[in-house]
Amino acid sequence: MYKTAALVLVLGLAGVLEALIPRSEGSWGVNLSAPEMIQSFGYPVEVHHVATRDGYILELHRIPYGLSLGGYRDRPVALLYHGLYGSSADWILNKADQALAYIMADEGYDVWLANARGNRYSRAHQTLDPRDIDFWDFSWDEIAEFDLPATIDYVLPTTGARDLFYVGFSMGTTVFFAMLSEHPEYNDKIRAMAALAPVAYQGNARGLVSTVAPFINQLDKKLTSMGVGEIFPNNELTRSWAMKLCDRNSLLAVFCRKILATIGGPNPDELNRDLLATITAHTPAGTSVHSVTHFGQLITSDGFYKFDHGPHGNLRRYGQRQPPSYDLSQVRIPVAIFAGENDYLADPRDVELTERELPNVVQTTTLASFSHMDFTWAVHAYDYVYRHVLDFFWNYRN
């Protein structure tokens, strides 16, 4: 009886919200895939698939050339890797003159956009089904160990390049650091790295995530015991609600903005409200519960560790009771760091700890007002970040 009453109440509230929310004419890009959005701006796009050693099928999106310099020819290769809840769309959701994928294509780069296992575009496996919890038995450890090396080893022979430029945002930096710690031979395949909102140490994280982090292991066990392996999936329903709730004309759009600020930090002047529904329709893009848990573990620790399976699980997996640390000293390629003072997830104090251990940081830029999400969505992303990324890479193009 109580369950029925609760269901009626939820449905009733949903009906009230539906009535309160104005009918939107539809926000641009909400129902388009990343390749379709790229095409809509007139850029060429290719879809590629690569299999990892443990059987996941990853989808890569390529912009081989830009509008200003058309045609295939020798170009430096750039690989862009998204954050925890993101996808290849992270790099194309902004206006064309503020979205890094288009900017780099027009600057003469062969641009590749990665998609980690489990997100909207990489939900395939050679034997496992996403409806099976075994599909979701991974954290970002596995993304670093399998996904990123497989992606690099596919992109380089496909393009004929010896090495590539790398741009990582948030988790895209985490998995890069972890990969080179375990496989330092990949330093030879990277020319330079731009680290946007880098995340390794996270003990000073603020906001909503720091409140939840102390309970993250219990939440992980509870969800796993219930057969839940995926968190924040991206589907037609979530995209529909994003358009209804976060459209600029919605009465509830203020809550969308508040949620983003609570998670990543406030910077209202840099959020394009016209694109908010598009942003929230594509992000979150889906990931595993364990990946979220892994970052929660970093927040409650003082190091940069592999996934903590508990003392007994660690003994089985690592041969020791504590998870091993990643070694940032193995990241030998030139690194440029871009951080934000208002970033709740990559706090400047944690970024400084990371910078101290990286042996070849050649430039650090800290932006006074930037929050976490601004590095991909900011109104002035080009002026504050991307033109400096291009200048940094230019020093290593020849």
Q: How far apart are CA 122 and CA 50, in angstroms?
A: 10
Two tokens, residue 196: 């946007």
List CB contacts of 11: < 8 A, sequence separation 6 or more: none
The catalytically annotated residue of 122, 170, 181, 250 is: 170
Q: How far apart are CA 372 and CA 198, in angstroms?
A: 10
If residue 252 lies in a helix (H) or strand (E), which one and from where to where? Answer: none
Q: SS3 for 325?
A: strand
Q: What one-character-per-residue DSSP string does 176-194 give?
A: HHHHHHH-GGGGGGEEEEE
R_g of the chain computed on alpha carbons: 21
**Nearest CA among 379, 285, 381, 277 for reference residue 28:** 277
What's 277's DSSP letter? H
If residue 318 lies in a helix (H) or strand (E), which one and from where to where? Answer: helix 310-318
Active site residue 282: no
Largest CA distance in the chain: 71
Q: How far apart are CA 125 and CA 365, in angstroms?
A: 39
The catalytically annotated residue of 125, 282, 294, 372 is: 372
Active site residue 372: yes
Q: How far apart are CA 288 and CA 109, in angstroms?
A: 32
Active-site annotation, residues = 170, 372
